[in-house]
Structure 1
Amino acid sequence: MTDITGIDAGGVSTALGRRARRIALRAAGPLAVAGLAVWAMRDRLAEIEGEALIAALAAAPAAAIVAALILTVLSHVFISGYDVFAARRLGLNLGAGRLLAGGFAAGAVAQTLGFGAVTGALARWRAHAGAGIGPAQAAALTGMASLGFFTGVAGFLALVTLIDPSAAIDLTGASASGAQSVAALALAGLVAACAAASHRRFRVAGLDLRGPDLGWLVRSVVLTAGDLIAAGLALWVLMPMAWAPAPLELIAVFAAALGLGLLTGAPGGAGVFEAALIVAFPTVPAAELAASILMFRVIYHGPTLVAALVLLRRAPGRAAGRPETPETPETPSEAEIRDRVQWILDEGDRAEGELAWLGDKRFMLSDCGRAFVMYAVQGRRWVALGDPQGPRAAWGPLVDRFEAAARAARGRVAIYKSDESARDFWAARGWKIQKLGEEGALDLAAFTLDTPERRELRRKLSRLKKVGVTIVRRAPGEADPAELADVAEAWTEGGAKRERSFSMGHWDWTFARRHELVEARKDGRLVGFVTAWTSGDGSERMLDLMRLRPDAPDGTMHALIVEAALAAQEAGAARFNLCMAPLSGLDDDPAGTRLSKIGARIYAREGDPQGLRGLRRFKEIFRPDWTARNLVCRSVLEMPAALVATHRLVEGAARDPGAARLPIFALVPTLAPRPKLPRGVIRLRRRGAPAPVAAPVSDAPGARILDFAMRRRRAAAAKAIVGAEAASAPRRARAG
């Protein structure tokens, strides 16, 4: 039993009294403002008779009520968008669908109940608790969304005033020229403020906030315009047409009234909102105007509040009673994690497994510990790179668990660059398959330059020798990283070439030093290099980095690739993989899907010599064998979104700000929220980080998702996923 004899009742009473006074003071402001507004409207309110108000309500046309409901829905669609843009500036990766739902619920609750900074933050916390959002991050999201709204209101009102100053004249009594001058200054001030803040970074609730820029300003004004126009028209259709003002004038007054009302914190801006409308439209009979505002309140706030509460009630939260640390101490150690993944790769025959160490992947191990899926999360898409690594017998249960984990987090699975040999596996399980392009590989058992079909390649190599280019092989880690970095930087000059990730390597000595390397030198100066991955069993080598200086002689890249293939042949490899040529071969896709037809048309019309067709022609000179690489999804309808998500991963859009670089890692807490993950999730970071805590866990037995998400030093960008691998081709890939 707890001893309470030592508790100071007087101290408790004093503390409770102070808290009650603080709550009362916070509520007093909005109540006082609402009271003053009612007092200011006392003369107009006195004109309203009960019978006239009831008659005005009864006379509202059904068509007007239906139109108001439709416009209300449209307004809240725009309101939901504030959270999407706010999350992007805060670096929160919660998925557009989750953000739209949370933005709708928070907007409806905050506008109806008032005290938006508090009620909006609580609603967002409830909506996103399942994704790991805490109260501080929910407050930051609310603040950024509110900033977008009020900035948008200011910008929208300034633009409307410049077009038609009549509303400003009605509200303030200013002259038309004076109102437009103030509007122009306000708009210029917003532009100047955003321009000044665009390069600044702030730390808010543990998140990196990018300062508002002009793009953010434009998006905020557009969202607010859509929101306020729809909401203003919802009020306008409810007004008697005989007394209704011009739509633009009403929308401007509505925007100003709503903004001022919400600033007070009163529910729905009550008092101030009505006062502004009554002052602005003195010619509209008080009973008709009051009836229109009352109907608007009921239609705009009632159904949306109910829908918001239902959404929040159904939103997944942190499981009750779930501890913040793992229930069992069976989480693998760092060495066990590294050794297990490396052991599986050492047993495999796919060189592409080297991308596991690139630093932007997560991993899920099978129960038997002999297979894994490497993937990344982008929004609601869990994109696996290639088929599972490991024996085919272990794939089925692993894929089932992977899909279950994604669905538990409200995500969807996509397999990017699945091998054609796995088609039967996926088809038997009911997955849909879409050809992405074709991958070229050399059969090293039969590879030789002394064949008629490689005559053109021999001529290129012969011309290269005459200009004094020498080719040198380097063992892993043997090359000079400073020279390599200089060539890699020269390759990206001018912006035509950019480093990318996820499905291909990027220049990073930590990663490149693991692989065989071939150099090209002219007069002792390094002019180009390639690296090649090796499968665990040594049967495959795969081309990775292809970097040239702009002034490298023609044929240099051809010579580098030939030398890398010959080195693989001498080492006993069976094949040398030249990687995928995106969109190539889609015209021969036996499935003949709509996406294949669209891709084939894009490929046929593409004329850039360094683009998709140029990449295929460059690889054709080696006369490889071509096989399909595919995208695999549960539904054809999911494929466009999966391609967009993969594009963002390739360009580096999904970075874990709390991640570090392999192979030095330690268990640490997640620093940035992600979609809810199943039991067994851990995150890895380099040593010296804070003490570990557990990530959310699910009920999937034996699941172990090993998160190797690592932050790269370089930010990557890409124009299109279909051109991603094309960017790794030499700057001057010539087929003849």
Structure 2
Amino acid sequence: MIQLSWAGGARFAMRVGFPLGILALCLSLMADRLAEMSIAQITAQMAHVSANQWTAALALTAVSLWAAGRYDVIAHRHLQTGISRSHAARSGTIAICLAQTLGFGVFTGALARWRMLPDLSFAGAMALSAFVTLSFMIGLLVVGAAVMLILPAPGWTLFPALAVMAGLPLLAYLFFTVKLPKVFGKSLRFPSLRASGAILLWTLVDVSAAAAALFVLMPDAISFGVAVFFPAYLLALAAALLSGTPGGVGPFELTLLSILPQAASTDVLCAIVMFRVIYYAVPALLAMLAMTRPFGSGSRDETDLSAPDFSSLKRAEYGLIRQNGGFWHVTQNAALAIWPTRQTHTALCDPITNDPARALVEHAREATAYNKIAVLYKCTSHIALCARKLGWSVLHIADEAVLTPSEFDLDRPSCRSLRRKLRSATKAGIVVRTPHVMPWEEMARIDREWQVARGPARGGTMGRFCPDYLSRQYVVIASQGDQLLAYASFHTSDHQWCLDVMRCLPDAPDGTMHTLVNHAITAARARDIAQISLAATPACLDPENAFFRRLARWVVSKSGGPGLRQFKSSFGPVWVPLYMASPTAAGLTLSAADIAYSVTHPETLKPSNGSHPHNQDENYEFVLSAHS
């Protein structure tokens, strides 16, 4: 116990002693310049600062601290604290005003946030403070590197700046793809690219305004312009942050004086003193006053809005959220089946609502609350048209094969190839049935052999084998004698069935899968199901354009090949166009890439717990796979 106490005391001494040692070293290096300063000189220089300069410095300080408060808005959304935007921003500004002045930024900021937000635990406040600190440091690194390359900067900064900018694509790739491990049982995740972009924006606004606040306080006699001053300021700020000294005192001044060319050190130091009063001391005093009156406990809407009953839905494919980590987002105006990916807040199919425009606006607002991009995925033409009227970017991504069981007739000319496939299966002795007790072990074996032959299973509307998941569906199996050969599953509702998982042995007789689907159509007709969906296949974005025709053929070849569309076409379906929509073209492009990655890199299935379906990321219209 004594050893632990000594160890703890040593660590505390290091935390406190290191910044103080840096401060002492910097002050000793600046001793000659500090000796030239006097209270009278500072007072005289302050007298020469015009009212316009003071006003500009105060206004720029306000802009900088306002922008700094935006970090907390992003952090609260990332951590999903439920704190309102206004309280997040104001508490963040207060915390930063204190932390930048008192030092020990993460801990000081956490105490301020904990004090101001009664709904927040101290652990939550520490997480917020750490997120804000780390994100600002990374943002400053990127902004600083760009500034060093664009504006006149010390020569030694060139290669580090180039290295940072060259590493940005890798950093974006990590944020886009890498899943962080759990810590203390909690899942960690990188900020979305949307959140990362916002952090860079607010970092640029923050440090630009702060630098300008100091620059306007400089005397007219200085020989350098803002283009020279801004890089020097950013380097001085970085030195101050790394030192950990209260307010960065010492390293900031020493770095700035060593970089600025032909600068009168006394004039610059006097300007820094005035800057510290305006940017550090006054905001810190105001923040301490604000902390005497913390915010009240947030009022939360306790209205219980029930999620829709799957059996009552017109579109059975909503059942996907049972396996892809999705959930229902229900408001007074709409219910949306949400599939969250790393970058998107994706609403699957159409919103269930009588007011689509309002539902889309609410969806976009909800996506912002998650720092993600709002997306509609596989929506119908009616909703796509509504989205386009709102200014959203819309893309025709897929065509869905739809049948009406009551009107399905094998004698139609369009079913000629289907009849041939069914006869082949009958001659091979294929028997199709829906057992009361599913042969899960045999089905799992077929799934393993299918993946060996065709490659790892993708996620999405194609589904993945999982007893808990399939037990909520209509499942039909095909056998030859005592051997199980194949099976197919369908999402179900009282209105529609939708084809989901299809698996068969590599050597299954020709027509086996056709027989499974035909059996399901007959069963649906017997139950008065109005519609069967054979799911969707990729669409050509522009059939008139040769490039898009080639692209469509390539995507089809990578997502099951033309055989998948031929398989569905053999049933003579009606092909219904489906669309993807997002508020911006850039968001639509990023979302498409994110969905494609989530499809081709689904999360590992966890062992069944016997009660709940597995969660994983999935989809398939954008899947670039080698199997159907």
The TM-score bracket by the shorter chain reads: 0.5 to 0.7
Instruction: Give the equivalent residue in structure 2 for 1:514.
Output: 472
| CA deviations over 1:276-323 (Å, ceiling 9, x no partner) | 444667963222322453566578669999999999999996337x89
Structure 1 or 2: larger helix share?
2
Instruction: Give the equivalent residue in structure 2 for 1:606.
Output: 552
Instruction: Give the equivalent residue in structure 1 for 2:6.
Output: none
| CA deviations over 1:445-475 (Å, ceiling 9, x no partner) | 3323333223334445566678x58353333
The CA deviation at 1:510 is 0.5
Pick from 712, 719, 735 the counterpart of residue 614 of structure 2: 712
Within the alignment, does 1:319 sit opposite 2:298 as a pair?
A: yes
The CA deviation at 1:565 is 2.5
- Distance of 1:380 and 1:199 partners within structure 2: 15
Alignment check: 8 A CA contact 1:75 1:230 kept: no
- Distance of 1:57 and 1:604 partners within structure 2: 73
Q: Which moved more, 1:404-413 or 1:116-125?
A: 404-413
Runs of 5+ consecutive residues of structure 1 not aligned to the other structure: 1-24, 170-175, 185-190, 589-596, 665-709, 719-723
Within the alignment, does 1:273 sit opposite 2:252 as a pair?
A: yes
Instruction: Give the equivalent residue in structure 2 for 1:625.
Output: 574
Pick from 183, 188, 203 the counterpart of residue 183 of structure 2: 203
- Distance of 1:620 and 1:307 partners within structure 2: 70
Instruction: Give the equivalent residue in structure 2 for 1:683.
Output: none
Distance 1:494 1:138, change over 3 A: farther
Within the alignment, does 1:139 sit opposite 2:123 as a pair?
A: no
Alignment check: 8 A CA contact 1:356 1:374 kept: no
Instruction: Give the equivalent residue in structure 2 for 1:445.
Output: 406
Alignment check: 8 A CA contact 1:69 1:300 kept: no
- Distance of 1:35 and 1:507 partners within structure 2: 65
Report % sequence identity. Answer: 25
The CA deviation at 1:134 is 2.9
Secondary structure of the corresponding residue to residue 716 of structure 1: coil
| CA deviations over 1:535-583 (Å, ceiling 9, x no partner) | 23xx532211123556767765444433432443455544321123455
How well do the aligned residues superpose, as a CA RMSD in angstroms? 7.0
Secondary structure of the corresponding residue to residue 319 of structure 1: coil
Pick from 316, 319, 324 the counterpart of residue 351 of structure 1: 316
Secondary structure of the corresponding residue to residue 519 of structure 1: strand
Q: How many residues are treated as equivalent by the alignment?
A: 578
- Distance of 2:592 and 2:296 partners within structure 1: 28
Alignment check: 8 A CA contact 1:349 1:540 kept: yes
Alignment check: 8 A CA contact 2:143 2:204 kept: no
The CA deviation at 1:167 is 7.4
Within the alignment, does 1:454 sit opposite 2:436 as a pair?
A: no
- Distance of 1:312 and 1:495 partners within structure 2: 59
Pick from 382, 386, 397 the counterpart of residue 350 of structure 2: 386
Q: Report matched runs for 1:451-530 at 5 Å.
A: 451-460=412-421, 468=428, 470=430, 472-475=432-435, 477-484=437-444, 486-487=446-447, 490-491=450-451, 497-500=457-460, 505-520=463-478, 528-530=486-488
Q: Report matched runs for 1:290-369 at 5 Å.
A: 290-294=269-273, 297=276, 318-319=297-298, 344-346=309-311, 350-352=315-317, 354-355=319-320, 357-358=322-323, 360-363=325-328
Distance 1:504 1:304, change over 3 A: farther
Pick from 205, 223, 226 the counterpart of residue 242 of structure 1: 223
Alignment check: 8 A CA contact 1:418 1:631 kept: yes
- Distance of 1:601 and 1:61 partners within structure 2: 63
- Distance of 1:159 and 1:85 partners within structure 2: 24
Secondary structure of the corresponding residue to residue 610 of structure 1: helix
Distance 1:531 1:168, change over 3 A: same
Instruction: Give the equivalent residue in structure 2 for 1:705.
Output: none
Q: Report matched runs for 1:522-541 at 5 Å.
A: 528-536=486-494, 540-541=496-497
- Distance of 1:564 and 1:551 partners within structure 2: 22
Distance 1:461 1:423, change over 3 A: same
Alignment check: 8 A CA contact 2:468 2:613 kept: no
1:134 alignment partner AA: S
- Distance of 1:211 and 1:401 partners within structure 2: 26
- Distance of 1:410 and 1:315 partners within structure 2: 23
Alignment check: 8 A CA contact 2:446 2:485 kept: no
- Distance of 2:578 and 2:474 partners within structure 1: 25
Distance 1:711 1:312, change over 3 A: farther
Secondary structure of the corresponding residue to residue 407 of structure 2: coil
The CA deviation at 1:512 is 0.2
Secondary structure of the corresponding residue to residue 565 of structure 1: helix
- Distance of 1:364 and 1:160 partners within structure 2: 42
| CA deviations over 1:102-138 (Å, ceiling 9, x no partner) | 89745565325544123422565589x69x7533122
Secondary structure of the corresponding residue to residue 438 of structure 2: coil
Within the alignment, does 1:258 sit opposite 2:240 as a pair?
A: yes
- Distance of 2:487 and 2:625 partners within structure 1: 12
Distance 1:87 1:554, change over 3 A: farther
Distance 1:730 1:246, change over 3 A: closer
Distance 1:410 1:210, change over 3 A: closer
Secondary structure of the corresponding residue to residue 607 of structure 1: helix
Alignment check: 8 A CA contact 2:415 2:572 kept: yes
The CA deviation at 1:442 is 1.3
| CA deviations over 1:204-227 (Å, ceiling 9, x no partner) | 5x6334799xx9xx99x9999979
The CA deviation at 1:100 is 10
Alignment check: 8 A CA contact 2:402 2:575 kept: yes
TM-score, length-normalised on structure 2? Answer: 0.63
Within the alignment, does 1:546 sit opposite 2:509 as a pair?
A: no
Distance 1:415 1:377, change over 3 A: same
